Structure 1
């Protein structure tokens, strides 16, 4: 009788182990593709997007919608740093392929097919301006991105245009800090 109980216990332990393995594999089959293709976490590092995003804000990034819809001017993007694609940055989209972005005394103007005489970019999110003068003509599949904290951001003004292939996605949720939980954080009401 005791021998039979030992065998049953051993069988139960073996079955429990294989149940655990089965559920672990199932979880990986679901979670890994979700993480790779649909959404991933991102923790803001630094102050380049102050005041919109602060250091250590915890975001969930939508990686899927970029495959079906182009980003819009003013969208906040998670990008790979063109000089070292293993690093990720958070920046705001300013200029599109084929446009010329000029900054004169800290004011951004965009020249494109519809606006041969340029239009001044409305940037209500800017608190920390940097007075500078630059002009950049964007090529095919090139974007111009900048941090909201213009005085403290390394962005397209310094390292040049952003190739489309380095756009990771847009933040869809801010989960931390708890008092700033937000859906589509950084989204502008008016573009």
Structure 2
């Protein structure tokens, strides 16, 4: 009799733990598919904001209610190969004119370059570049301009809104840091 009760108690305990693990797995899958995007940054293109190897979390819901805006750091499908995800900062919004000259980024024919306190170091000057951002698209650059494959270099220079996966919110490894 005691042996049967003990056996039933062990089975009940195993079933209890298994149901908790299954529920946790389902919650994690739903969170990752619909609410958050978890990513590891493999390159130095966003340094010093996001370092090589950092793990970040983005919100998949942000752009359901708001439009992406200049300065947002986003996770998106790389326009030249949508199987890859990239992380960059939005610089140009739909309808913007982006000129890169003398190591600076100029918006909408401004005489003054953007003030970008997040870039790692001044851009090494190169040939002048001119971009006109189409409707529904964004022009994106890495914060480490001298080591970033970004809108300046891609065959398809723009990230369309429907290809944006998430707005990056914070880094969780190594250490926690809100990202702007």
TM-score, normalisation: structure 1: 0.82
For 1:172-191, list aligned pairs within 5 A: 172-178=169-175, 181-183=176-178, 185=179, 187=180
For 1:130-169, list aligned pairs within 5 A: 130-132=124-126, 133-159=128-154, 160-169=157-166
For 1:42-53, list aligned pairs within 5 A: 42-53=39-50
- How many aligned positions are there? 175
Contact 1:47 1:152 in 2 (8 A): yes
SS where residue 146 of structure 2 aligns?
A: helix
Q: Distance in 2 between matches of 1:120 and 1:27?
A: 49
TM-score, normalisation: structure 2: 0.87
Q: What does the per-residue CA deviation read over 1:103-152, in whole Å, with 9 as the maximum and x for residues that have no partner?
A: 112221222xxxxx436322122214132311111212111000011111
Aligned-pair CA distance for 1:85? 2.2
Instruction: Give the structure 2 partner of residue 12 of structure 1.
Output: 9
Gaps of 5+ in 2: none
For 1:1-191, list aligned pairs within 5 A: 4-111=1-108, 117-118=109-110, 120-126=113-119, 127-132=121-126, 133-159=128-154, 160-178=157-175, 181-183=176-178, 185=179, 187=180
Cα RMSD between the aligned structures? 1.8
Gaps of 5+ in 1: 112-116
Contact 1:128 1:148 in 2 (8 A): no
Is the radius of gyration larger for structure 1 or structure 2? 1
Which contiguous aligned blocks of 4+ residues in structure 1 show a shift greater than 3 angstroms?
117-120
SS where residue 82 of structure 2 aligns?
A: strand
Aligned-pair CA distance for 1:39? 1.6
